[in-house]
Amino acid sequence: MNYDVIAQWSEIIGGIAFVIVAVWLFRKYALPAVRSAAIARNADLVNAEKRRDDLRAEVATATAKRDEALREAEAIALRAQGDAQREADAIVDDARREGTRLVQTAQGELERGRIAARDQLRIEFIEKALLRARELAAAQVTDSVNARLVNKTVDDLSSGASD
């Protein structure tokens, strides 16, 4: 039997086995992690949208309260114009500040959600690029390069042991 052929088939079978194990590991560990991360991000976005909708409802309530305060201020203006104007201004200012604060809070939470999703996407891209770089590096290391690296390591270790 020709040992070169056996060695070649051994490398082919080993490579196929490596690919099968790599695919299996990816499907078993990486894919569920990616899926769960996507589900978690989607849930976070749904929660952020719900909070935004709740805050919009609060803004609508605050606006309705402001409008009611303005109507009351007009009724009070018939009896006492000066007191009614001060009361209306205070209510309107409070309602505007509260509405502005609620809108700013909702915008901040939405932006934080976007940033977190963007960061997660960057991390995934970096991980994929590193995996691809490792695959390319492994594919470019030939037997002669591997033998040279092993010999250099052995020489370094042996020279380190004699020191």
Q: Give the type of residue at 47.
A: N
* Tally of helices (H runs) and strands (E runs) in the chain: 4, 0
The pair phi, psi for residue 141, each rounded to 5°, is: -85, 110
User: Where exactly are the structural domains of the chain?
Assistant: 31-136
* Contact present, 58 and 102 (Cβ < 8 Å): yes
* pLDDT at residue 163, as a whole number: 55
The Cβ of residue 125 has, within 10 Å, a number of other Cβ atoms equal to: 10
Cα–Cα distance for residue pair 39/149, rounded to 1 Å: 44
Distance separating alpha carbons of residues 42 and 52, to the nearest angstrom = 15
Q: SS3 of 35, please?
A: helix
User: What whole-number distance in Å separates Cα of residue 116 and Cα of residue 122?
Assistant: 10
What secondary structure letter does DSSP report for 52?
H
pLDDT tens for 95-152 read 899 989 988 998 999 899 999 999 999 999 999 998 888 888 777 777 788 788 889 9
CB 57 within 8 A of CB 106: no
Phi-psi domain of 142 (left: phi exceeds 0; alpha: psi -120 through 50; beta: other): beta
**The pLDDT of residue 46:** 94
Tens-digit pLDDT profile for residues 117-128: 999 999 999 999
Q: Identify the CA nearest to 155 among candidates 137, 142, 143, 147.
A: 147
Which pTM value belongs to this model?
0.31
What are 32-57's pLDDT values in tens digits? 989 999 999 999 999 999 999 999 99
Instruction: Check whether 155 has a pLDDT greater than 60.
Output: yes
